[in-house]
Amino acid sequence: MKTAVMDLSGDWTGVFDYGLEAQDAVTFTATLIDVGGVVWGKTQEPNSFAPGAGPELIAELSGTRSGMEVHFRKAYLGSPRGGEYPIHYTGHVSAGGKRIEGQWRINNPGVPFSGPFVMTRITGLEVRREIAIEAEAEVS
């Protein structure tokens, strides 16, 4: 029986937690591209820590996937105050490839932070994109 090749490419929604009672968990969306275990993409989340940086924060992701383990680095665009240091994520991909759970950490000198995160694949978007591409090709 042939084993399916894992691919994390697609749209995801998730939440990360600071692990502090005074700080609410933060939701986010992510778009990932996975080519042979090299993973990159972008995230978008409500601004929960950087006054003056606007209502939402965008970050770039880069990392690797090896089997069911994923490691990536998140860096906020524009390095907003409080977001100057990259965040390192380590997670485990579920057997079906629809969920990633793990821990994030910031190696901020003197004030290291860490906490849990979880991401869930948004399904159905690839099918809608394929239908839209086919429809556009028929019209052209």
Specify the DSSP element, H or E, that contains 15: strand 10-16
Q: What are phi and psi of 109, to 5 degrees?
A: -55, 125
Residues 32-51 have pLDDT tens digits of 999 999 999 999 999 988 88
Dump pLDDT digits (tens) for 74-120. 999 998 888 888 999 999 999 999 999 999 999 877 777 899 999 99
135: helix, coil or strand? helix
Answer yes or no: is pLDDT of 21 > 90.
no
Distances (CA, A) of 135 to 11, 99, 127: 22, 31, 12
Cα first-last separation, the chain? 41
Structure-block tokens of residue 72: 């990536």
> CA–CA separation, 130 vs 94, rounded Å?
25
Rounded CA separation 99/115 (Å): 17
pLDDT at 81: 85
Reported for 93-97, long-range contacts at CB under 8 A and 24+ positions apart, including other chains, are 93/6, 93/8, 93/65, 93/68, 93/69, 95/68, 97/6, 97/7, 97/8, 97/121
CB 89 within 8 A of CB 75: no
